[in-house]
Structure 1
């Protein structure tokens, strides 16, 4: 097995599709949402935050409480795919947005590009479950339906520098967003 996709245990038997290429020369594998979910409008959440701030004078602008409230409201949402990816040790899966998402649906990947490392597969924290981090900058909430294509994955090789300091390289111990901790 060189590289490919599997459904994680929590989503087995729930009618998910493995990622697929839509055309014969497509570089990216289309990922679908594993469940229905709502992506709130960034603007609606921002307006709600400022309205709450104005009506609750007790939350000072520079307070940690005010900052934490804004952060929670404006945080990107993780769209579950129910999929994990296996690959060679010198490869990674690059997660990218679909070109139609910003133009037609106002959905963006706030991190620009996601990286799924080879050692993310079957990690103990979440079995290697791949999520797409999305932000809705449209004026209305966006309803993602199960089976809707939310992003693409492209397998890539990478190179290692001759001067790499192996003392700083550790074994993965967590799931989403855990490398380098």
Structure 2
């Protein structure tokens, strides 16, 4: 069964316009690898093999740009297999792509592993998840209401 064949009553309709950039013309567009996948995989549009040494970061090009309607964002997330097998993740996970951004999508990979990691053209390097966005209205006040937690910060509720 394909992802298009499965739809729940609560899923919102979202059309994302996608533009292939010149250096991504031969690569697959993002796609959901399973029928119920939350994220669609994006691919590396590197023009030559990139070796990511332990501790290094690289802004990996994808060869695509997107346009979403207002009220939506795309989140770029690590692929769990890369993290588990190689220690490779995204530096700013999840990375937010705003609805008004029209530049090339890039995935900021970091090698947390002990070995070099090679990025080849067409490798699946990240997954993109779409989510609704709400912008808040801010109201300045002199005092905030009291809660049980109060100002208890990091670790204040125990382990």
Structure with more strand by fraction? 2
CA drift of 1:119 comes to 1.0
1:150 corresponding residue in structure 2: 125
Q: Is the alpha carbon distance of 1:12 and 1:32 closer, same or farther for their aligned partners in structure 2, counting shifts above 3 Å?
A: closer
* Mapped pair 1:22 → 2:33: yes
Distance in structure 2 (CA, Å) of the matches to 1:12 and 1:20: 15
* Mapped pair 1:137 → 2:112: yes
Distance in structure 2 (CA, Å) of the matches to 1:22 and 1:2: 18
CA drift of 1:150 comes to 0.5
Contact (CA 8 Å) 1:37, 1:143: kept in 2 or not? yes
CA drift of 1:102 comes to 1.3
CA drift of 1:5 comes to 2.4
Q: Is the alpha carbon distance of 1:24 and 1:7 closer, same or farther for their aligned partners in structure 2, counting shifts above 3 Å?
A: same
SS in 1 for 2:100: helix
Structure with more helix by fraction? 1
* Mapped pair 1:11 → 2:18: no
User: What 5-or-longer segments of structure 1 have no aligned partner?
Assistant: 43-73, 122-127, 165-181
Taking structure 2 as the reference length, what is the TM-score of the superposition? Answer: 0.72
Aligned mate of 1:86, from 54, 64, 67? 67
**Count of residues paired in the alignment:** 124
Contact (CA 8 Å) 1:6, 1:18: kept in 2 or not? no
2:82 corresponding residue in structure 1: 101
SS in 2 for 1:147: coil
Give every structure 1 segment of 4 or more consecutive aligned residues whose post-TM-superposition deviation is greater than 4 Å.
Answer: none
Of structures 1 and 2, the one with the larger relative CO (CA 8 A, separation 6+) is 1
